[in-house]
Chains A and B, each alone.
Chain A
């Protein structure tokens, strides 16, 4: 059972890294978008493995559903073709050096930072018996009520802003 879990983790991790790589290397934006959907599906699988099924469902509905439909709609509306990838070699080299350095820095931080091994109140059994949605809802409407209201205002502003920007001749 343990080895099966590890095998599944590495398989999904491999698929997510490969599709993440395809996002940045595909010449056609539509192919990038499809690869990004694949990455979102892999991340949803990880959320299920981490005992967060509600977040997995939200990931699929909001990201793989709503946001990706919006992006693909705009790509098709603007009728974007393939582009020349990596026209400037020095830019590509600089990008690889910068993100490689950042990656190593993150690795050092992960290795040095000691995550507490004391488990908190919410473990797999609690999620199983109480339900993940209920736990999220309780946290959202008690401790995080003000951020929740601010998020609703943010969405309202975004709706108004998007309509104004897309409508008028800017």
Chain B
């Protein structure tokens, strides 16, 4: 029997993978994709619990998370294009203007 715990452990694994990616990679777009992976892990938890509890609220939350992810993709990629124009690179090591 596939219980809700199976789905939650799987989403924990995916979330941890996304965290490793965010902390180790240096390409801003790859970091962005890892953030998307973490968002999707959370979505899986929401839908698994919503299906387990017999309640629609979790799935509506996933709907809003997807809206925010779409807005984030548009603005984030526009920021990367603007940054690439200035520095000819989107390596996060170059993002040091505010570094002390």
A interface, CB within 8 angstroms of B: 2, 5-6, 9, 13, 16-17, 20-21, 23-24, 29, 32-33, 36, 39-40, 43, 46-47, 49-52, 55, 58-59, 62-63, 66-67, 70-71, 74-75, 77-78, 80, 83-87, 91-92, 94-96, 98-100, 102-103, 106-107, 110, 115-116, 119-123, 135-136, 138-140, 143-144, 147, 151, 154-155, 157-159, 161-163, 165-166, 169-170
Contacts and interface: CB of A to CB of B under 8 A. Distances in A.
Contacts, number: 220
B74 A162 contact: yes
B81 A20 contact: no
Contacts of B10: 13, 16-17, 46
Interface residues of B, number: 71
Nearest to A9: B2
B63 A136 contact: yes
Interface in B25-76: 25-27, 29-30, 32-34, 36-37, 40, 43-44, 47-57, 59-60, 62-64, 66-75
Tell me what chain A mostly uses at the interface: helix, strand, loop, or mixed.
helix
A110 B8 contact: yes
Interface of B: 1-2, 4-10, 12-21, 23-27, 29-30, 32-34, 36-37, 40, 43-44, 47-57, 59-60, 62-64, 66-75, 77-82, 84-86, 90-91
Contact of B4 (A52, A107, A115, A135): A115
Contact of A50 (B12, B26, B51): B51
A39 B37 contact: yes
Contacts of A107: 9, 12
A44 B67 CA distance: 17
